[in-house]
Structure 1
Amino acid sequence: MSDAAALLDLCRVHGLKLATAESCTGGMVGAWLTEVPGSSDVYDRGFITYSNAAKRDMLGVTSDSLTAFGAVSEQVAGEMASGALARSQADIAVSITGIAGPGGSDHKPEGRVCFGLAYGDTVQVETQDFGAIGRDKVREAAAKHAISLLTQGAKVKSGAA
């Protein structure tokens, strides 16, 4: 069973709904979730917010955070996850914002991805450095990590952790 299918089953058992807020993955997590038949009873919605304007308009990310920290930051990832949770019927939301490549900088290298996970009043953020493994591989690694974070959140939210 795929990780996405296992996540959906876990949420289904506990009556939990999911939302995603994706930037560098461009909807990949949402696509993986919706490849599973019957996912509509768990997956509420996805936000693809590739531009800073979309992050502000659709998720409520503040201009101050974007200016001070940049789109690829734990601050913005946290605001993205909180915004997705607040603007959906979901119980758990994950966000992904990163530099898939090619390119990057010394300060924010290719392969750096920031994640947010929101449920209830809790917002967790973290950064993963996948390295300069290529755009496709960074995006896939980020999407897999997001599914893992959603699974952790579902276990905590359901009391199964």
Structure 2
Amino acid sequence: MTIIHLEDDHLYAEYIRIELMEQAKSSGLPLEIVRIPSEWKFNESIDEIITKGDAFLLDVMVRWCYPEEDSVAGDPPGEYYDAGLRCVKKLINNLPTNAHRNIVLYTVYQQEEIKSELEDINHLSNFHKVNIFTKCEDTAHLWEMLSKKPNNQQIAANSSVDGA
């Protein structure tokens, strides 16, 4: 299983990587986590992200780009505090309708604080449901959200999310 992880904070990304790797090891599921460090890099890599990702974990607040990318990245399309929301919309608009991937937005916001944005995102498509994970929750719950098939069945150790 491959999780695409949009996170600009390398320390928090490492914490999540360690926690999810431990959960995967306990469940016998091989896991690769690919970190995308900025909104610009996410946009630039969208085709590869869709092809490679079995599940997607996106931080809501992410920087547009790093200083070394400034000359090619251009101006940000909006504020950093909703970059992950823009990325999840792009992801949904580019995923095939039969992709059946788990998509999790994680944030320091409480669900009520971004309820209308989440409803807007989930109305974009009848095929892809986006879940919310608050950063103070237990990472075992995060693992469950990422590793369940859309019909709530646990992904088997030797299968992809699509069941192939």
TM-score by length of 2: 0.40
TM-score by length of 1: 0.40
Question: Greater share of strand residues, 1 or 2?
Answer: 1
